[in-house]
């Protein structure tokens, strides 16, 4: 069994298992930690697909920045309580799982009809697409063909940062107003 | 590389549908958001697989851009969840049936 095949068969079940575990864990912190594991497995799959740059970006951005943000918010809100299992909509869980499995089967059938299960990738990826190394080839494509979209993403990130600051600051003002009202009410009661 | 490219696509499809089930079934807004992240990752995986299959780096560039957009989306989404939580003291989507402030 070639090495990459072995790595695939070790990593892919872990990826799917950790995704399922993320789904069924009732504690949010455990869900987040299983999601970190899942992102790490996807990063290894990127490595198998000859995308080492995206492997690094996946670890840094997803497993690093995004999940730290998630855990930070979980700890900040203190929502690591377990959620209730009461169904507001009757049968929601059964219908949801059925639809999800249906999507999986549909896409897998589409893969079978489209490229077949035995389709292998071309062997000369390192010579053609990844010529000169993945990071160098990727930057060649990025800065030649996608330069304008790349610059637009900087605007997107700035807008997101400003939006968060606006959301947070407006929220603090309303909280203090609510606290002031509550304090006044308590004073009046006393 | 001997692993057929369709295996990666099948893994991606399964991860995507697990994310879909998470969005449909779970009640906690944070878990729903994490499921959406899982779906984005599954799509990234299939983009990179197709990039490998077609011997073309455009798929990897698209996956890179989708990571950038996902980072921005997470920041804004978490800020919204924090705001809703501060108002209602709950992260359950059942309690946020009315989006009035």
Share of chain A above pLDDT 70, in %: 88
Q: Do B4 and A124 touch (CB under 8 A)?
A: no
| pLDDT attached to residue A77 | 83
Give the 3-state secondary structure of chain B: CCCCHHHHHHHHHHHHHHHHHHHHHCCEHHHHHHHHHHHHHHHHHHHHHHHHHCCCCHHHHHHHHHHHHHHHHHHHHHHHHHHHHHHHCCCEHHHHCCCCC
CB proximity A68 to B under 8 Å:
no
Q: Which residues of B touch A124 (CB under 8 A)?
A: 55
Whole-number pLDDT of residue B100 = 61
What six digits make up the tokens of B2? 């001997």
d(CA B11, CA A30): 22
CB-CB under 8 Å, A70 with B74? yes
The CATH architecture assigned to B5-96 reads Orthogonal Bundle (1.10)
Q: Which residues of chain B make contact with A70, given a CB cutoff of 8 A?
A: 30, 33-34, 74, 78
- Give the pLDDT confidence score for residue A177 in this predicted structure: 63
Chain A contact probe: residue of B30, B42, B80 with most A CBs at under 10 A: B30
Decide if B5 and A130 are in contact by the 8 Å CB cutoff: no
* pLDDT tens-digit map of B63-94: 999 999 999 999 999 988 888 888 777 777 77
The pLDDT, as a whole number, for residue A146 is: 93
Distance in angstroms (rounded) separating the CA atoms of residues A43 and A55: 5
* B28: β partners: B92
pLDDT bracket for residue A75 (50, 70, 90): confident
B20 pLDDT more than 80: yes
Q: What is the ipTM of this complex?
A: 0.91
Architecture of domain A1-82: Up-down Bundle (1.20)
Q: Is the pLDDT of residue A173 over 70?
A: no
Q: How far is B1 from chain A (nearest CA, A)?
A: 7
User: Is A10 within 8 Å of chain B by CB?
Assistant: no
Q: CA A103 to CA A88: how far, in whole Å?
A: 24
> Across the strands, what pairs with B92?
B28
Q: What is the Cα–Cα distance from A48 to A60, expressed in whole angstroms? A: 18
The CA distance from A138 to A131, in Å, is 9
**pLDDT classification of A82: cutoffs 50, 70, 90:** low
- Domain locations along chain B: 5-96
**Which of the residue ranges A22-26, A27-31, A81-85 would you say has the lowest mean pLDDT?**
A81-85
């Amino acid at each position: 069994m070639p090495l990459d095949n072995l790595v695939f068969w070790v990593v892919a079940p872990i990826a799917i298992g950790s995704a399922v575990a993320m789904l069924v864990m009732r504690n949010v912190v455990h869900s987040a930690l299983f999601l970190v594991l899942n992102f790490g497995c996807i990063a290894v799959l990127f490595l198998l697909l000859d995308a080492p740059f995206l492997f690094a970006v996946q670890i840094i951005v997803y497993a690093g920045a995004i999940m730290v943000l998630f855990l930070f918010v979980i700890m900040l809100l203190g929502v690591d309580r377990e959620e209730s299992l009461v169904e507001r909509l009757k049968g929601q869980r059964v219908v949801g799982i059925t639809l999800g499995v249906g999507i999986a089967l549909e896409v897998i059938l589409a893969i079978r009809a489209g490229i077949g299960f035995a389709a292998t990738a071309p062997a000369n990826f390192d010579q053609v697409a990844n010529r000169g190394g993945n990071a160098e080839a990727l930057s060649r494509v990025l800065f030649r063909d996608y330069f304008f979209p790349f610059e637009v993403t900087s605007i997107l990130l700035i807008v997101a940062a400003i939006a968060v600051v606006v959301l947070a600051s407006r929220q603090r003002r309303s909280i203090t107003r609510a606290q002031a009202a509550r304090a006044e009410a308590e004073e009046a009661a006393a | 590389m001997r692993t057929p490219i369709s295996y990666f696509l099948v893994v991606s499809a399964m991860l995507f549908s697990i994310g879909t089930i998470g969005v449909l079934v779970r009640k906690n807004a944070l878990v729903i958001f994490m499921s959406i992240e899982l779906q984005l990752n599954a799509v990234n995986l299939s983009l990179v697989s197709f990039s490998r299959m077609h011997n073309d780096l455009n798929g990897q560039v698209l996956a890179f851009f989708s990571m950038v957009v996902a980072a921005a989306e997470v920041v804004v989404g978490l800020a919204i969840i924090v705001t809703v939580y501060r108002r209602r003291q709950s992260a359950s989507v059942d309690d946020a049936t009315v989006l009035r402030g």
